[in-house]
Amino acid sequence: MHQHGTLDNHHQEGPQSHKSLTLEDIWRAIELDQFFPYYQPKVKLRGMEPVGVEALMRWRHPERGVLSAGAFLPLIADNFLFDELAFIMLEKSVAQSRAWQKEGLDIIISVNMSPDLLHDTTLPDRIAAIVTEHCVPMQRLIIEVPESSIARGTDDVLETLTQLRVKGCGVAIDDYGTGYCDRAQLERVPASELKIDRMMLAGASRRPLLRQQLEHSIDIARELNLAAVAEGVESPDEWDLVNELGVDMVQGYFIAHPMAGEDLRDWLARWSVDPFV
Ligand code: G
Ligand code: MN
């Protein structure tokens, strides 16, 4: 069995002396069920109607509080623990979807998938099994895959994504603009949505070259019949810009920060009365 020496040492040192997190800490935290999703709303630009949420990984660390994925994802990016965590997020998100469904909330959930798992052509069946078990329609789920994972677009990855689409679930190309997919590669991917990374948006209202690149991404989405989502919209300026350029959906701190599942209902109620408050 694995040992928990690192974590034990850490306990003795108290919260001030933060040692680097290790894979062992993460493994232990999985066993203790400390990972859970927060949900960040995504709204349609026209009419500003909330249409979905993205499930974002959080770690309820006993001493450090709630940690964002940035604090530990680099550690597991190329590790099987990422696969493990992706499935934990999927399972919990689908359970949350069922709970919202029972409250009458019709919300589509996007879940980030570990790139390694896309090579496994049994993935669509495994996902479908979880979704069916919770009596949630596949149409309520979008699987997000980073652009970088499809740039190497091998046949098994394309087969996996095709099967997901056949089963009714959406596929989003995530972090678009950071993964260097060319047009021909993108065309082969059976996606439904293009999530344009904040990197393309930040500064685009002041810098013509960035703005051009952003416009180009939106054009590509349109030509490939993908819904264009602007990610990481933080300010009124950025909202105005994506409004002017005409994306389909918007996600980012300007709309809402990621929140606990039980807080979504209240957020939706406030948003419907007075957006951006
Ligand atoms: O890679 P992916 O797009 O799945 O990651 C989304 C990440 O971006 C999350 O960690 C989320 O907390 C963060 N995020 C969400 N909205 C904003 C935003 O408006 N600005 C910035 N800088 N980050 C954001
Ligand atoms: Mn994502």
Q: Is it the case that residue 10 has pLDDT exceeding 80?
A: no
Residue 113 CA, ligand 2 centroid: distance in Å: 9
Q: Which of 220, 249, 49 is nearest to 142 (CA)?
A: 249
The SS3 assignment for 65 reads strand
The mean of the pLDDT values for the chain is 91
Residue 78 CA, ligand 1 centroid: distance in Å: 20
Higher pLDDT, residue 153 or 256? 256
User: What are the pLDDT digits (tens) for 36-73?
Assistant: 999 999 999 999 999 999 999 999 999 999 999 999 99
The domains located in the chain, with CATH, are: 38-54+83-273 (3.20.20.450)
Mean pLDDT of 144-149: 94
The SS3 assignment for 249 reads strand
pLDDT-derived band of residue 180, with 50, 70 and 90 as boundaries?
confident
- Residue of 39, 43, 53, 56 to test ligand 1 pocket, by largest number of atoms within 8 Å of CB: 56
**For ligand 1, what atom is nearest to the CA of residue 174?**
3
Amino acid of residue 9: N
Ligand 1, atom 12, residue with closest C-alpha: 258
User: What are the pLDDT digits (tens) for 150-161?
Assistant: 987 689 999 999
Q: Is it the case that residue 177 has pLDDT exceeding 80?
A: yes
CB contact at 8 A, 189 and 173: yes
User: Measured from the CB, is residue 69 less than 6 Å from ligand 1?
Assistant: yes
Residue 185 CA, ligand 2 centroid: distance in Å: 20
Spatial separation of the C-alpha atoms in residues 9 and 212, rounded to whole Å? 52
Ligand 1, atom 16, residue with closest C-alpha: 252
Exposed/middle/buried for 23, CB within 10 Å: 0-12, 13-18, 19+?
middle
Q: What is the signed CA dihedral for 185, 189, 194, 196, rounded to 10 degrees?
A: -30
User: What are the pLDDT digits (tens) for 104-131?
Assistant: 999 999 999 999 999 999 999 999 999 9
**For ligand 1, what atom is nearest to the CA of residue 68?**
10
Q: Is it the case that residue 133 has pLDDT exceeding 60?
A: yes
**For ligand 1, what atom is nearest to the CA of residue 112?**
4
Q: Is it the case that residue 17 has pLDDT exceeding 60?
A: no
Lowest mean pLDDT among 93-97, 166-170, 175-179, 253-257: 175-179
Give the number of C-alpha atoms closer than 13 A to the C-alpha of residue 166, restricted to the C-beta side: 9
Residue whose structure tokens are 């929140």: 259
- pLDDT score for 153: 67
- Residue of 111, 253, 255, 257 to test ligand 1 pocket, by largest number of atoms within 8 Å of CB: 253
pTM, 2 dp: 0.92
Residue 252 CA, ligand 1 centroid: distance in Å: 7
**For ligand 1, what atom is nearest to the CA of residue 38?**
12
